[in-house]
Amino acid sequence: MNTLVSLMAKQGNLNDQDIYKQGIYAREELSTTGIGEGIAIPHARSEAVNAPGLAAMVVKDGVDYQSLDNQLAKLFFMIAVPKTGGNEHLQILAMLSQMLMDTDFKDSLINAQSVEEFMDLINQKEAAQKTKEEEKEEA
């Protein structure tokens, strides 16, 4: 958790790491964000957030995140949204969920050998999804 919060802070998205972390823990108390299949998406709307952001991390050995399917979480995406923000987090959650339904894609992220490879995989998948959406709109 601390690593993801630090990554979010390094991006300049947070004005107070401790308050943001409290928001993450409060959200987890409602229900786990360990959605299963080795994925966790902790998120919070907080006054400690300057701008919406996303941080990601892979833990190859996995972490017990009290996931819905009792599997260890290996792939983490943390979402930060300002308290006054709209539904950005829901849009990000929907996009991530759609992308991560592809088991091969999820596994390739977990097995990425570098940050660059991880980001390239995300960018390629996002571009492919946009193309599919555009094709649906044209049809």
List residues with catalytic annotation.
43
Distance CA 10, CA 13 (A): 8
Decide: 20 and 49 in contact? Cβ < 8 Å.
yes
Decide: 78 and 54 in contact? Cβ < 8 Å.
yes
Helix H or strand E encompassing 130? helix 115-138
Decide: 88 and 13 in contact? Cβ < 8 Å.
no
Distance CA 11, CA 123 (A): 18
Helix H or strand E encompassing 35? strand 34-36
